[in-house]
Structure 1
Amino acid sequence: MISVKSAKGFTLVESLIVLSIFLLLTLFTWSNGSAIHERKVIEQFFRQFQNDLYYAQQYAAVHRETVYVFVSQDDSYYRIDRAAFKGSLVQTSYNEDIVIRPTTMSLPITYYPNGSIKKGGTIFIDYKEETYKIVFTIGNGRFRVEKL
């Protein structure tokens, strides 16, 4: 028969120490992971939105037709349409926590057949507790994003 004293294994205290260290590491990873996720959501939104705006401008210039960028704030998506109901080019959904607020920029954003924008202005983007500003300049239709 095997004696209990000669059996090899871990004590309850050792097992609890290892388990508590594992739980602490998991907790730190979990809390940092959500902050990284929130930052990546807004970064991805701006990357995609900028690319789609450039695409709308280039499509208008190359195909010599007016292009509109419609924003549906209630349904959290935007859509790029060709003029005269010729069809949509792009429809992109975005996170429901992102709020697009046109201020001096009227919606839809319109690109003329030469690639210029109809009207310059500003659009504010709110996400969680951060606010960003997109400024559209008159003329060549370029824009810039600023964090407030």
Structure 2
Amino acid sequence: MLLKCNRGFTLLESLLVLMIVSIMSLVTIINIAPVYERKILHTFFEQFEKDVLYAQQHAITYQTSVYIVFPKDEHVYKIQLTEPGNGTITRNIDENLTFQFYNIPPFLVYTPSGAMDKSGTMFIHYKDKKYRIVFYLGRGRFNVEEL
């Protein structure tokens, strides 16, 4: 007596499942690019905020001027600490990020009191997005807004 065993999948069923998995993978890969761009911007602004606050705190603590410099045609910004033995902190940034200075020079100065030397506005461009950073006199704070 012959026993018939139907425990496997047909070729059509296997191809259908493979097609569904491929489509789901493709949709996931397509949606990764915007998430990656948002993460680059979020990481940059988070680090930049921490660095600006660090520069201010360092200026107050050591009663010295601290400079945040944006070298032209380099994808970095530098925090120059004038306290002996501390030197410079260099932060690399994404090559698509560019700085445009509206009414301030390409550097920021925190005085020993923690205030900014000058107030002003700078713009940050990332691909098709534009952000404005306004630095205020007084306590040395700043505001970031997307345009």
Q: Same fold (TM over 0.5)?
A: yes
1:1-148 map, 5 Å:
6=5, 8-83=7-82, 87-148=86-147
TM-score (norm 2): 0.90
Identity percentage over the alignment?
37
How far apart are residue 141 of structure 1 and its match?
Answer: 1.0
Cα distance in 1 for residues equivalent to 2:130 and 2:90:
24
Distance 1:48 1:98 in 2: 14
> What's the CA shift for 1:42?
0.2
Aligned length: 146
Tell me: CA distance 1:27–1:103, structure 2 relative to 1, closer, same or farther (3 Å): same
Report the aligned-residue RMSD.
2.0
Under a length normalisation based on structure 1, what TM-score does the superposition of the two structures give? Answer: 0.90
Matched position secondary structure for 1:79: strand
User: Would you say the 8 A contact 2:64–2:83 is kept in 1?
Assistant: no
For 2:90 and 2:84, locate their aligned partners in 1 and report how far apart those are by CA, in whole Å: 15
* Unmatched 5+ stretches in structure 1: none
Distance in 1 (CA, whole Å) between partners of 2:49 and 2:23 is 40
* C-alpha separation in 2, matches of 1:43 and 1:72: 22
Distance 2:74 2:84 in 1: 21
Q: Distance in 1 between matches of 2:50 and 2:83?
A: 23
**What CA distance in whole angstroms lies between the structure 2 residues aligned with 1:105 and 1:117?**
11
Indicate conservation of the 8 Å contact 1:70/1:109, yes or no.
Answer: yes
